[in-house]
Structure formats: structure tokens, C-alpha cells
Amino acid sequence: MKTPSRKELEKNLPKHVLLVLNKCLLLYTSLAKLELELFRIAGVLLDNRISNLTIFNADGYFNRYLSLKYKDCNNKRLDFKALTELCSVENSYLAEDLDEFYTTDHTLIYYINKVNNDLFISTQNNTNYKTQKALTLVLIDNTHSHAKLLKLTPKPKSTNLNPTWVREKSKKGKIILEYQVPDESSITHPDIQKALCTFNDVTVSLPDLLISIRLTLFDLITFIFNYIYTLILNKLNTLLKPIFSKLRIKNIKFDKELLKSASVIRLGDMFTGGMTVVHAFGPSGVQPWFLSEAEIYEVFGFKTMHIVNCINQFANTIRRCGK
């Protein structure tokens, strides 16, 4: 088989990548670590001229975290050194009092530009950088598509005057099955598709590459260690109030069922050769209409290397429908 050239690989690269963050990943991984990897991935996608990146987290936890840091920012330079130091110092897991920071921004849109070796993030599409197109970063939760669908009222389509019929006959020539083949628009619903892919007046294409990201075993063990460490500090704070009067430590959110689920899935992966089932799509996962044109991959750990491997595999694989 002929090895594809570099130009052919670049042509086969996805235009829109959708990352699905599993709930266990968000609860039991440092949000500062997720933030750092997100911007590293954005830089790699920019270098490969991939124009759209969408992050789906069903409950919107990651949206709230980023909206507090980058709301109304204008060409803010991303300081990777500071973000790396934050990961090593701050264990910013989801806290029990997260709801007090609740934001109604269920959809966030940012534009990321690269100037020399620096990345800049903005809530507005900056047209000053004409040398390279900005990466459109969209963060959504499960309310986005649900709200869109409730507002849509599909108009009745005109009847096809020359429909295509499929008929199956018995050996005696009698028709035993007959049905009409619907036209393409009644299957794809372009109007609904456009509405679902519109985020705050910004319309993007459907994703061609969907990557489902799960929690790693290492992150799981790290969370348990941090949880026990925080629990001990809180006990000391209660017993020795005069000494720790100024010390305020947030309780880390702990969900036993999710923890058990993540452990079973990750340990089971070791004995199945990596052949796991992609997590459920639906109320607690990504909506099915995002899957109509997407190839689906699954990785463990929110790492830039994993995303790059998926993109390379996508570029070297013959896609469905001859694309």
C-alpha cells in the first residue's frame, strides 16, 4: 500500500475536533492541569491548521472554571510557565461549594491566535493577525442542544413527486415489502443541523473527529491521595483552631459511585487490550447529532500526545462515505 505524502496527510486532517470530557475526569483531575493541557492542544491544532475545537462537558463544570478566569478577555497572553507552576502548587479540584460560582454561560466561545511562539486568547475574533486564522474554541454543556431543539419547529417538507421505492417480492412475484426511500434533506435536516452548530451567532461545521477522554489510573490515585491529605488538614484545622485560624481549606467533592465506576473501567481496560466501550451518549454524554460525520476515538488521560496520536490516525485512515 502506498504511503501517503505529507500534502495528502494535511488534506486528510480534521477541520473540527470535538473532545468529550468524562465526568470522572472532571471530578478527579486537577482543573488547573486540564486548563494547561487544553491550551497546549490548542497550540498543536493551530500548527496543523485545524480551525475548530469544541469541548463538551455535560454538567458545565469546566465552563464555570474557565469563565471565571477568561471572561471578557482581550488578547490575553497565555503564560504556560505560570500555568505549570499552578498545577504543581494548587490542587484545584471541584469543591462542594462550586455552585456559588455558578454561571449561566452554558456556551463559551474563545479565539486563540499564535504570534511567534506565544498564544493569545480573546473573546472576540481579532482580525489584526491576518497571517494565520484563529482557532475557534467552543465550550458547551448538555443544555446547549436541548435548548436549541425546544425552539425549533421544523416546517413540513413538500412531497417528492418522483419518489424512489424499494420493493421486495416473493418467489411467486407478490410484493411482500414496500417502502419509499426518503430524500437526503429529510434525513440530514440541514436547518436543524445549522441551528445545533451555531454558538452565540458563530456557526461551525459538524465535527469530523470526536475523542472521548476518560480518567487515568494515575490521576485516580493522585486524587485519592489529595482527598486524604485535605481531609487530615481539615481535621487538624478543627482540632487546633487557634493555630489554624486563618487557614481555609475547601472540601474536595467526593462521589463514591463515580470513583468506583472509574476504577472498574480503568482496571478492566488492562485485561481487554484497550478494547473498551465508548461511554454512553445521551443525557449524560454528547448528543447523538454530533456523531453524524465524526469518527470516534477513546483515550485515557487528557494529554496532548493522545490527541496528536488520534489526529495522526485519523489522517492515515480511510473514512466513511469515501471522504
pLDDT at 41 over 90: yes
Which residues have a Cβ under 8 Å from the Cβ of 294 and sit 6 or more positions away?
A: 18, 206, 207, 208, 209, 210
- Give me the mean pLDDT over the 171-195 stretch: 71
More confident position, 59 or 41? 41
The torsion of the CA quartet 60, 143, 68, 209, rounded to 10 degrees, works out to 60
pLDDT of residue 93: 56
By mean pLDDT, which of 47-61, 109-123, 175-189, 195-209 is the weakest?
A: 175-189
pLDDT of residue 275: 45
φ, ψ for residue 151 (rounded to 5)? -85, -15
pLDDT of residue 267: 57
Domains and CATH numbers, the chain: 6-151+192-215+273-322 (3.40.1180)
- How sure is the predictor about 308, in pLDDT bands with cuts at 50, 70 and 90? very high
pLDDT at 261 over 60: no
pLDDT at 292 over 70: yes
DSSP annotation string for 19-65: EEE-HHHHHHS-HHHHHHHHHHHHHHHHHTT--EEEEE-TT-HHHHH
More confident position, 66 or 323? 66
pLDDT at 170 over 60: yes
Query: In whole numbers, what is the pLDDT of the chain averaged over residues?
Result: 73
Cα 218 versus chain centre, distance = 21
71 grid coordinates: 471572561
